[in-house]
Amino acid sequence: MKKANRATKPELPRRSPCAVANTLDRIGDKWSLLLVRDMLAGKTTYGQFLESPEGIPTNILADRLKRLEQFGIIARSAYQERPVRYAYALTESGRQLGRVLRALADWGLENIAGTKKELVPGSFVR
Amino acid sequence: MKKANRATKPELPRRSPCAVANTLDRIGDKWSLLLVRDMLAGKTTYGQFLESPEGIPTNILADRLKRLEQFGIIARSAYQERPVRYAYALTESGRQLGRVLRALADWGLENIAGTKKELVPGSFVR
DNA sequence: CTAGTTACTTGCGTTTTGCAAGTGTCTCGT
DNA sequence: ACGAGACACTTGCAAAACGCAAGTAACTAG
């Protein structure tokens, strides 16, 4: 797994100047947007993310949190000392991904049988 | 690479009933939505997809076209016999992904410096 | 008969993913 | 003071996905 010190912006190799391509290079994988979904639903800690029904592996979770932080989509802060515990929260930039989430959810609801809108009621309803 | 006969619906293992998760399992990778973008911009052939600036590898392209067809997002049809040449086009379901593309493009434009809205003018403007 | 075009497939080395287990820090109960 | 437990990760390793280059198949045009 990639070794990168927390909170330093990585210069991603740019495939093209396309806004869609560049966005996908940041959040275009199977897990990143699920974490954003969870945060929009109010989750904030490592442990809470692990509880989601999709079952993200712990190493992937740690990696994605680091990436999202580096991209300025989320921010990490200690919510208590002794012992130190961290909370993750969406930045303004991250909150704006709500529109993407909503579009994805709407598409799934219309086009995939048996899918449900929310796991946590009231999270990203219109 | 996965061996699957064309146009048969694959039963994807369902990570959860969440609409977002299920949508991501279909199109949540670095290439699928770029193909949808290209089709919204009017591209239809294998050769045209290869011309896009991101430079998709040929085996990935063939695989993604097959997947998207299996999910009912695009449809393949021969646009000429002798020699047989194929055209790919979005289905109604695929066209509805335009909303996702627009959300992703808007986010990129606002949050990633140096990104541009379109490669082909008039493709998926509001 | 040779070259060119289109649409792929195949091989293979590299990277990413996923599962399980382990580590470090600190609290609490006895 | 000691052991169990919670939290937030890290490490090792096998399996899957990706990416590059080259090869194949079905024609057409010269």
Model pLDDT for residues B54-106, shown as the tens digit of each residue: 999 999 999 999 999 999 999 999 888 778 889 999 999 999 999 999 999 99
Burial grade of A30 (CB within 10 A; 0-12, 13-18, 19 or more): middle
Find and list the nucleotides of strand C having atoms within 7 Å of a protein beta carbon: 5-12, 16-22, 25-27
Task: Name the residue with the least CA to C1' distance from nucleotide D19.
Answer: B57
Residues whose C-beta lies under 7 Å from strand C: A 1-2, 29-31, 55, 57-60, 63, 82-84; B 1, 45-47, 58-59, 62, 65, 76, 83, 85-86
User: Mind telling me how many Å the CA of A69 is from chain B's nearest CA?
Assistant: 14
As a whole number of angstroms, the distance between CA B94 and CA B71 comes to: 9
pLDDT value for A91: 97
| B119-CA/D24-C1' distance, Å | 33
A46 and A86 in contact (C-beta within 8 Å)? yes
Strands A74-80 vs A85-90: parallel, antiparallel or unpaired: antiparallel
Chain B closest CA to A102's CA: distance in Å? Answer: 8
Domain boundaries of chain A, sorted by first residue: 20-111
pLDDT in tens, B99-125: 999 999 999 999 999 998 876 666 764
Section B35-39 average pLDDT: 97
Q: What is the topology classification, in CATH, of domain B19-111?
A: Arc Repressor Mutant, subunit A (1.10.10)
Residue A72 has pLDDT above 70, yes or no: yes
Task: Specify the pLDDT at position B41.
Answer: 95
Whether A107 and B99 lie within 8 Å, measured CB to CB:
yes
Residue B126 confidence class, pLDDT cut points 50, 70, 90: very low
Average pLDDT over residues B15-42: 97
What separation, in Å, do the N-terminal and C-terminal C-alpha atoms of chain A show? 37
Q: What is the pLDDT of residues A84-95, one digit of tens each?
A: 788 999 999 999
Q: Rounded CA gap, A21 and A13, in Å? A: 11
Pinpoint the alpha helices (H) of B3-126. Answer: 19-27, 32-40, 46-51, 58-70, 92-95, 98-111
Tokens, residue A98: 């709500």
Q: How confident is the model at residue A10 (pLDDT cuts 50, 70, 90)?
A: confident
The span from the CA of A38 to the CA of A35, in Å, is 5
Cβ-based neighbours of A95, under 8 Å, separated by 6 or more:
A40
To which residue do tokens 């293992």 refer? Answer: B13
Query: Residue A114 CA to chain centroid, in angstroms?
Result: 24
Q: Give the DSSP letter of residue B75.
A: E
Distance CA B90, CA B77 (A): 11
Second CATH level (architecture) for the domain A20-111 = Orthogonal Bundle (1.10)
CA distance B84 to chain A (A): 31
Q: Between vectors from CA B9 to CA B20 and to CA B49, what angle results, nearest 5°?
A: 75
How would you classify residue B7: left for phi > 0, otherwise alpha for psi between -120 and 50, otherwise beta?
A: left
Residue B85 pLDDT = 87
d(CA B55, CA B68): 19
